[in-house]
Structure 1
């Protein structure tokens, strides 16, 4: 074949599949015309010279025409990835194909932006712009003024206003879609598996995913069988493991049809301000990739086609929640009620935030011109932003906390405005880059970076008339994330901060359950703290209250009908799962009651005394001990106690020392 003919063929092949997509005929024609213009300019044209160089260097040896197209495109000035092909003249075609398949997959998955560009060409273009701004140390909020959002509610659990909002939101649960952002592995915690497979607490042994699924089952039971949809965003690392966990446990009682898994794709790591892709050190024919950020959940939902289906089912709201914060489900009903009462298109759950705390803050931002918006501002930007407009910085007000609520990344959004906003953006989310520079020149990275997007930046897509606000809850009631290994947890605790270890998350659950029982009038003694692996935790008494026992605070108060007639000693352990009423109980020991659907239990005149269950130290990785338990440095030794499990439908009474009578 003559060189001119081959060059012409390669040039035509250099138009990527994304640009030739029938969904964007105008963009495709424009780009193809540009490339053909380069061809007719002769051998000096950029695309022509790329094709000639690749052919001469033997880079394309052994490749199909489609594969040659990809190589030519990657090596073009537009993409700037010619460095990837060093040494390809002697490489085996199968090795070359591994890299090209990876590129093609990432190109197909990266969403279209507002300008109609999509695929890795758009990714590179965005990256170069953002990296240039970062290298110039530009402040994205330059000229903005900051104020506390007008639309929001600071809740006090148990008050009349709280209970009114919770009742309103409780009635909305049946029409709510729940979205779990679960792309994380537990490696940082010392757990070789996905984080949602960790036990949230070791009294019941229920995993995070099991508790979330149980909450949806509780909604279904109280709403006469109407099923609540669960969408789970997984990652390339967690997708297969999440599928396997659901299958192993029969979807924890949910129907497979109500669970939707959306897998997030990684994006190429970037090694320079020119957005150069980075090959793996172990395998030069595999690109180093990184997660694109949890903002991809919006892109995936838009592309899934699920949002119109949910709207057709009469769903009104979507709740986004994180993988290891089980207390969020205690706060979600009241937050839904606030969203309905205030007409919020987006409602961020929040907690009181200490001034200077390493947590994002919900703020109202007003640019020098145009409409303001309410959104999260990261803690490392907030102080400088406040000072830049003449303020005192990130300081406490009269409450002892920052006036700006602390974001916990649990979001309540109205389905209609949400779907419309994503349709307008094509599902693409605003991106940012956060390179770690090797020196003051800001031109060399310490390690490869990537573009990211965050789910909490959704307000940037909403129209100016959409009302965005917050609902702030007390921390003990709504916030128990697990994200730190024991070393980091001990360091945080030494600073007076929440440790965020698996043990700290477990202790937070027990403490919240004890507080809610006290709110219902019960007497619950507080046990002495214990220390494991250098971390002091309030684990006693361990109290596990399944969402099937009480989905809302109001429901819990009805369940504890005896009020002061319910007494739990510090040496006790109590587990309740199902339709159970506590009329009168004096517990000094261990009691577990599990009631299957269709079973109703009343605990009346019960005085339970036994040696109870106790905490004992274990070494992480101890033989015969589940890793999700041993990483805490302790385990609950269950010997004796009263354990009741009722499966035959009917009404039962538990009395005396744990005697079960069918009524």
Structure 2
């Protein structure tokens, strides 16, 4: 079957074994409803408990994991090695980077992983975010944007670029059904490998007790995009990549329709730098912009989240008045698969980040509780925390107008809305058309499918075809799609 299941065949523990596991950590309450459960419920609860690392969880609850003084860290931060969008900052040219990246694509060295565990809650959309229609003219979904880009790359470089799609418990079933019912959006079925990310239990913020969502289920939440590495390993994806000759993994998240998926220049920078992990960034528009800050401290590249960065550090400037910490993370990375192997075999571990959340749960009598204020602590890991462990890291600047238009919030919010993303798509594609001497009014909605042209250069090569298609060099209709 082309799409893999993420279920693990965990052995079911007996009641005595469960009690022995829970008692040292004072979590015996998880068996409170055991006798009222049928065999299926007992099996589910047993398997969930067996997957919890209670020693690790106790360390997190007690706050004994390593605390980080981000203010002190930021005061020593500088910029890591960076390639500007114009190609400056490295020992090779943009053309050399493009040629090297194209060769890697032709040789089948590149696989992709799409992190799509979130639902469109903040969008007012009750389905997996990847199913959100974002095309300003076509109504294509986010998933379709990425599939079309992969189809175009596969045709351009003569090789099927695989898509590893990481879902969560909340999005897995619907995402699988969506791809199956829509003929994998034009991709070959064997090109799409769907797997589920791991989970962490939520704990009561005041007692440290694990919460229960049902009598047969812990209150579980996704373990963050930092769980991607172990989820890929646990589901056999890394072994599959290596069997098929892939050497590098292009990582991106589901909310950005403008991501330059399989961009040969980005890939080329990564390879020419001999980097184990390369990160794409934008130049921050203002000091406290809500993006992770890519910095270097003590010779190690890392990301300090905007929420952890004191304003005094965010506003530090160079002598010329420019921001000292200018590089904002947009969650696009490229990994060397040998680096993944090394990390899986090492003792290094991701730090956990805490979030205070409202988590519905059962009380002691089994009644459902819906809190109206944060009552629980969730723990998650971030993929960018691999950066300090990577060798020869490099960051690559992109123009946000060309590569970053995230869809996070419902229309009406100040930033990251569908309307703003659609405007960015139209603005970009109108600019492409104008480089082909096509006159197009700012009011015209324009959307160019990458299967027609992946970038401005390809569109210029096809400019004669474009003019023929629109019967002249002026677009007067209010919508244009190719």
Contact conserved, 2:314 with 2:325, CA < 8 A, in 1?
no
State the distance in 2 between where 1:557 and 1:395 align.
42
Cα offset for 1:343? 1.8
Cα offset for 1:553? 4.0
Question: 340, 344, 349: which one pairs with 1:418?
Answer: 340
Question: 101, 122, 125: which one pairs with 1:191?
Answer: 125
| Gap change, CA 1:419 and 1:72, over 3 Å in 2 | closer
Residue number in structure 2 paired with 1:381: 308
Residue number in structure 1 paired with 2:419: 503
State the distance in 2 between where 1:446 and 1:341 align.
47
State the distance in 1 between where 2:420 and 2:87 align.
22
Residue number in structure 2 paired with 1:359: 291
Deviations 1:48-101 (A, max 9, x none): xxxxxxxxxxxxxxxx98133213422x1x221133455x5xx74326973662
Deviations 1:158-197 (A, max 9, x none): 9x94454334323333421110000011122111211111
State the distance in 2 between where 1:182 and 1:330 align.
15
1:112-191 matches, within 5 Å, as 119-129=52-62, 131-132=63-64, 139=69, 142=72, 146-156=76-86, 161-174=93-106, 175-191=109-125
Residue number in structure 2 paired with 1:293: 224
Contact conserved, 2:438 with 2:474, CA < 8 A, in 1?
no
State the distance in 1 between where 2:444 and 2:97 align.
30
Residue number in structure 1 paired with 2:185: 252
1:468-487 matches, within 5 Å, as 468-487=393-412
For CA contacts below 8 A with separation 6 or more, give which structure has more relative contact order.
2
Unpaired runs of 5+ residues, structure 1, are 1-16, 22-63, 109-118, 367-371, 438-444, 493-498, 528-539, 563-580, 586-601, 615-640, 645-663
Deviations 1:517-557 (A, max 9, x none): 33x34344442xxxxxxxxxxxx321111111222443233
Residue number in structure 2 paired with 1:49: none
State the distance in 1 between where 2:279 and 2:61 align.
32
1:545 aligns with 2:475: no
State the distance in 2 between where 1:65 and 1:241 align.
30
| Gap change, CA 1:269 and 1:65, over 3 Å in 2 | closer
State the distance in 1 between where 2:279 and 2:246 align.
19
Cα offset for 1:473? 1.0
Residue number in structure 1 paired with 2:457: 554
1:390-401 matches, within 5 Å, as 393-397=314-318, 398=320, 401=323
RMSD between aligned alpha carbons? 3.3
State the distance in 1 between where 2:35 and 2:473 align.
76
Question: 82, 96, 102: which one pairs with 2:28?
Answer: 82
Contact conserved, 1:359 with 1:407, CA < 8 A, in 2?
yes
| Gap change, CA 1:361 and 1:446, over 3 Å in 2 | same
Residue number in structure 1 paired with 2:437: 522
Contact conserved, 1:170 with 1:552, CA < 8 A, in 2?
no
Unpaired runs of 5+ residues, structure 2, are 1-8, 359-372
Contact conserved, 1:67 with 1:100, CA < 8 A, in 2?
no
State the distance in 1 between where 2:193 and 2:172 align.
12
| Gap change, CA 1:157 and 1:548, over 3 Å in 2 | farther
What TM-score comes out, normalization by structure 1 length? 0.62
Contact conserved, 2:99 with 2:268, CA < 8 A, in 1?
yes
1:405 aligns with 2:405: no
1:228 aligns with 2:228: no
Contact conserved, 1:181 with 1:232, CA < 8 A, in 2?
yes
Deviations 1:553-604 (A, max 9, x none): 43233223x5xxxxxxxxxxxxxxxxxx33xx3xxxxxxxxxxxxxxxx659
3-state SS of the aligned residue for 2:114?
Answer: strand
State the distance in 2 between where 1:157 and 1:99 align.
59
| Gap change, CA 1:146 and 1:107, over 3 Å in 2 | farther
Contact conserved, 1:550 with 1:556, CA < 8 A, in 2?
yes
State the distance in 2 between where 1:274 and 1:103 align.
23
